[in-house]
Structure 1
Amino acid sequence: MKAFSLLLAILLIPVSIYSQGLLQEKNTFTHQDTLRGSITPEREWWDLTYYHLDISVDPDTKSISGKNTIKYTVLKPYATMQIDLQEPLFITKVTQNGKELNARRDGNAYFIGLIDQQVLGTNNTIEVYYEGKPKEAINAPWDGGFSWKKDENGNDFVATSCQGLGASVWWPCKDHMYDEVDSMDISITIPKGLISISNGRLESIVENKKTNTYNWTVKNPINNYGVNVNIGDYVNFSEVYAGENGPLDMDYYVLRDNLEKAKEHFKDAPRMMEAFEHWFGPYPFYEDSFKLVEVPYLGMEHQSSITYGNQYKKGYLGNDVSDSGWGMKFDFIIIHESGHEWFANNITNKDIADMWIHESFTSYSENLFVDYFYGKEAAADYVVGVRKRIQNDTPIIGTYNVNKEGSADMYYKGTNMLHTLRQLVKNDEKWRQILRGLNEKFYHQTVNTKQIEDYISEKSGIDLNAFFNQYLRQAHIPTLEYSFKKGKLNYRWINIVADFEMPIQVTFHNKEQWIHPTSKWKTVKTKDQNLSINRNFYVNSSKIE
């Protein structure tokens, strides 16, 4: 039964969930969890500004080696820096200003003793050299690491994925979401005959005797897990999309044998861009372009380098997650993972406990894609259809400062929470402007839940404190309890947090109308004995006979 449940979870939950966190529940947290998940004193004193990740990848030995050049600004004087790198990889040397520094390892964190004085406001650089055989992903992208595969022609087909587990599973970095690097260069040296694709734009290819080095540049801020390396026998085709901010380069890198089918199948990409620029605002990374890159696993939202492995099928590996029929109108991975460019890559959570900011909005983007092309009723069919995947097991928000996400309900419970919120706003254009406003207000920023809650409350003109407490911070959903007695309809909310007073649309007297339940009984005269709740509200109901 346990094995079946695990398989079911993998099949039903969208792919951009991260490593093993959602598939097993932790009851206790360790010292390593705190080092990974908190803003330690060794992290908070410096502001990350630039990375140059320069590595060689050897598919034959499944090993990597190289260095990461890290630039930073001193926020307050301190003498120790935390750099994260997970076993079995290891740091071989750290230098600053030509001096080799002491690096003390504590599990997956290294504490670097700095020799030169760190003066407030100065911009400094360290070089971190490392090597080894990184963790191999057994079932990417859920468990994270390197995927060392072969394509059908026997060519190496290699990719990285590391959400949740952390980028430090394959490269040394400041591995916490709160501090995004401002810009980045990525140099990947690989055997001749293969092509390496990473984030941003390809600046140059340096040909060596037995290897080639691919140099990529990322001009926008990027979160660590959004950085990726993909290696294979790739071919490329491209188009220019007329976007809200002008011409947008859209590139597609696929295995050689899949070129023709990709040219047809990837037509969902410009459709995605049209729908999401409408709902969310301009694509956030015009300078870095947009790419879809074929990989040997299902997919992931790597910034400006969305990885794709949905086997060129509509739906989720050929299945409709909503069972409504509308889920077969698009390629799930192209739509869902690209939606993360706005929610995850543009707006990024500071702590993984707030991962709902990534996943609820992006799962909701599937619904908005359907809405844009097929209409509101089709979108309602879709969002109602995914409710069967909701567990209501644990709260959507996780535990802070220990790298612990909340329930997998952040996907489709979060979707239905946002769809319910759209009903409360009542004006679809106002709702659209709230979604676009989020991406403008928090453009290229890391945020916490309170910032998102406060913004939506302010712009909607609704006090949503109890609403978010209800749907994000506890497992159960509100239940409308009601009865018909002596010509009266009696109703109230139960299973609710304090001060929960959400209005709701119901139908009785053959008329749809708003009622305003609270925790106390309310009464309205009626000869009708039937009541139905508008399906667009994610609530339960209980009729007392």
Structure 2
Amino acid sequence: MKIYLWSLIILALPILTFAQTLDFNPNTLNEIAEAEAKGYTARLLSPQVAPSEDYDVKYHRLELNINPAVRYIKGKVTTYFQTLEANFSTIHFDLNDPLQVDSVLYRGKKLSYTHSDMVLSINLPNALDKAVLDSLSIYWQGEPADNGFGSFEQANHSGAPVIWTLSEPYGARDWWPCKQTLTDKIDSLDVLVTCPKAYKAASNGLLRAELEKGTEKTYHWKHRYPIANYLVAFAVTNYERYTEYANLKTGRMPIENYVYPESKISAQAGTKNLIPVIELFDSLFIDYPFHQEKYGHAQFSWGGGMEHQTMTFIVNYGYELLAHELAHQWFGDHTTCGSWEDIWLNEGFATYLSGLAYEFLQPQTQNWYNFKSSRISSVLSRGDGSVFVTDTSSVGRIFSSRLSYNKGAMVLHMLRWKIGDEAFFQGVRNYLKAPEHTYGFAKTPQFQAYLEASSKQDLTEFFKDWYYGQGYPTYQINVRQEGDLKVIIRLNQTTSHNSVSFFEMPVPMVLTGAGGKTYEVRLDNTFNGQEFTVYPGFKITQAQFDPNLWLVARTSGLTVGTTDVKKGGFALYPNPTTALTRLVLEERAGNIRRVVVNSVNGALMNAPVQVLNQQEASVDLSALPVGDVFCTGGNGERVWVQNVVKN
């Protein structure tokens, strides 16, 4: 199936190549997670307070006056809304207290209002019926609260002032009157920013007009896709602007870049490498969700990046950071996680997609392998922790780089391994295309249902183990050859956390023989101690566990040996060995009564023996010197002797 997918990508995107190697940096993801956790703190410490679930926002027209040299905002917002209940007489907006409301206009007349405890309540002159479309305008100004969350920030870069917003779901009210919710997206939006004409303003959607008047200039941005409140943003400074283009399935689309003048060279070197990435994601998944408008970057001075819809705010132009934030346009902006418990649907996907950029676009490098190795090592650094967020009051847990990002990404990777490339990517496409998820919200059970439909597999156990459960498995693997063609593989497993007693997973292995012959096997491991019989067609000399890094797992031992029960009633494997060997008595030979180890001179050796069952015993040779020894097994009536090579 992977061959099919590669063929699909290569045929659709023949230009996906790089002129240079973009080296994997294992620290990038931690930096992304830390920056996003810092920014998202505002969401948790500032919950929604305005009772606003009785109306649906249809449209906002934001008109803002900004001077980046002065930390101040003055604006007007016109809101079109539709009532969801009858007898609608008061409309509520979220607005932080430091901001002052000058007036509210409704059908040309001023309305009365109250503004306290971060809630703006406006009294309508007459109650409205259900399903009525209406509008009003709010005028406000003030210095936004400096709460350290980055919702409205002023800074300097190389002596030039800059102001940007980083709203988050509960930070938008710090700078404009809005409805803060994760359940209602704004259907369409216009943002008009007036600033001194020495500066440029970047925002969502397409730049429709630049209107100069005296010493000021107004930038009119128009966005005609549904957008979550926290993804509305603007930034103002002395930007330099340049445009690149991506060739998507729907046609040629601009990528608008607003960068600090001092960063232009590094920005151009970085953003050109993102063009094949956006073309890749557009082909692997659904069309770029906002292809009728644009994608873009606006530089700011906050650590990491923020995936504002159609205009990511970015601190630098590192490859993985750019790919991660781009991926959020599909997973986070187009389809948004419906709760903090499901944050992995945003962050796990964005992390995994940055890895897919290495896999598909840099196959000649080690970056994809290094990406997976780094993610697995992060997860294995502790034995606990689920992808499912059990404590949504903890910012550190929600934005845990180990769990929400790394383990989330590897859960997707293991799902892909379990159900195959074709079913995985088709299931993800169906999930994104679903009407309820198109510019909407989703939770994990819905995602699971789409993968089950595409794969025709029941994934209940997988999600129970890997999403809700904690920890990971450790495998002990014994491989023994019987005769010239037959190989027996035995898998034993322990788990790092008691929330999962056993991880049911297909286990990949590669058997190697003389002359470089290889035989790949996929072992559907459903219970502990399970044995598999395979026929590679040659004598094996080596076995590898998961060489391509599909699984989040450890191995406590992988032993390879041969079995020849015809030599006298029992087998020893592995043989040779560096530590443990296992004695297996033929069932017809009775039960094990005694096992001893002697040197070639007949001296009794100190080799601990553990009888595992009536036919098997484990013999520990780790303390013995290198060389030949003899292992003797008896059933009380007969004894058998076999040579063992201790390496």
After TM superposition, the score normalised by the length of structure 2 is 0.69
Q: Which position in structure 2 is the counterpart of 1:347?
A: 335
The question of whether the paired residues in 2 share the 8 Å contact of 1:146 and 1:160 is answered with yes
Shift of 1:225: 1.9
SS at match of 2:127: coil
In the other structure, the counterpart of 1:3 is none
Unaligned 5+ residue runs, structure 1? 1-7, 315-330
Q: Name the CA shift for 1:356/1:465 in 2 (closer, same or farther; >3 Å).
A: same
Contact 2:392 2:398 in 1 (8 A): no
Alignment counterpart, residue 380 of structure 1, candidates 356, 365, 369:
369
Q: Secondary structure at the match of 1:166?
A: helix
Aligned to 2:454: 459
Q: Which moved more, 1:499-508 or 1:354-363?
A: 499-508
Q: Return the offset for 1:200.
A: 0.7
Q: 1:93 & 1:473 partners in 2: Cα distance?
A: 50
Within the candidate set 239, 247, 250, 2:252 is matched to: 247
| Cα distance change on mapping 1:183 and 1:401 into 2, 3 Å | farther
Distance in structure 2 (CA, Å) of the matches to 1:266 and 1:44: 40
In the alignment, what sits opposite 2:73?
A: 64
Q: Mean Cα displacement is larger for which, 357-366 or 377-386?
A: 377-386
Separation in structure 1 between the aligned mates of residue 378 and residue 89 of structure 2, nearest angstrom: 49
In structure 1, the residue corresponding to 2:275 is in which secondary structure?
helix
Flag the 1:354–1:89 CA change in 2: closer, same or farther, 3 A: farther
Distance 1:463 1:109 in 2: 46
Distance 1:458 1:410, change over 3 A: same
Residues 3-43 of structure 1, C-alpha deviation per residue, up to 9 Å, x if partnerless?
A: xxxxx9995444662436579xx9xx98x63x35xxx8x33
Cα distance, 1:446 vs structure 2:
1.9
Give, in angstroms, the shift of residue 450 of structure 1.
2.1
| 2:303 equivalent to 1:303 | no
1:478 equivalent in alignment to 2:472:
yes
User: Do structure 1's residue 130 and structure 2's residue 124 form an aligned pair?
Assistant: no
Match in the other structure for 2:111: 100
CA contact (8 A) 1:351 1:401 kept: no
2:545 to 523, 532, 535: 532
Aligned to 2:505: 503
CA distance in 2, matches of 1:516, 1:254: 51
Read off the aligned partner of 1:398 and give its amino acid letter. V
| Alpha-carbon separation, structure 2, partners of 1:190 and 1:247 | 31
CA 541–124 in structure 1, closer or farther in 2 if over 3 Å, else same: farther
Distance 1:191 1:478, change over 3 A: same
Distance 1:397 1:104, change over 3 A: farther
- What is the CA deviation profile of residues 465-507 of structure 1, one whole-angstrom value per residue up to 9, with x for unaligned ones? 2322333334x22314546599883525644757976322243
TM-score, normalised on structure 1? 0.81
Question: What secondary structure does 1:206 align onto?
Answer: strand
Question: Would you say the 8 A contact 1:82–1:109 is kept in 2?
Answer: yes
* Structure 2 gap ranges (5+): 1-26, 481-487, 513-518, 535-539, 558-579, 581-617, 619-647
Q: How does 1:94-493 map to 2 (within 5 A)?
A: 94-97=104-107, 98-106=109-117, 108-136=118-146, 138=148, 143-152=149-158, 154-163=159-168, 165-297=170-302, 298-310=304-316, 312=317, 314=318, 331-375=319-363, 378-390=367-379, 394-398=385-389, 406-408=398-400, 409-426=403-420, 428-441=421-434, 442-474=437-469, 476-482=470-476, 489=490, 491-492=492-493
Moved more, 243-252 or 356-365: 243-252
Are positions 1:47 and 2:56 aligned together?
A: yes
| Greater fraction strand | 2
The one-letter code sitting in structure 2 at the alignment partner of 1:73 is Q
Counterpart CA distance in 2 for 1:349 and 1:453 is 14
Q: Partners of 1:403 and 1:179 in 2: how far apart?
A: 24
Deviations 1:201-230 (A, max 9, x none): 112223233322211110111112211111
AA aligned opposite 1:466 = E
Distance 1:18 1:473 in 2: 22
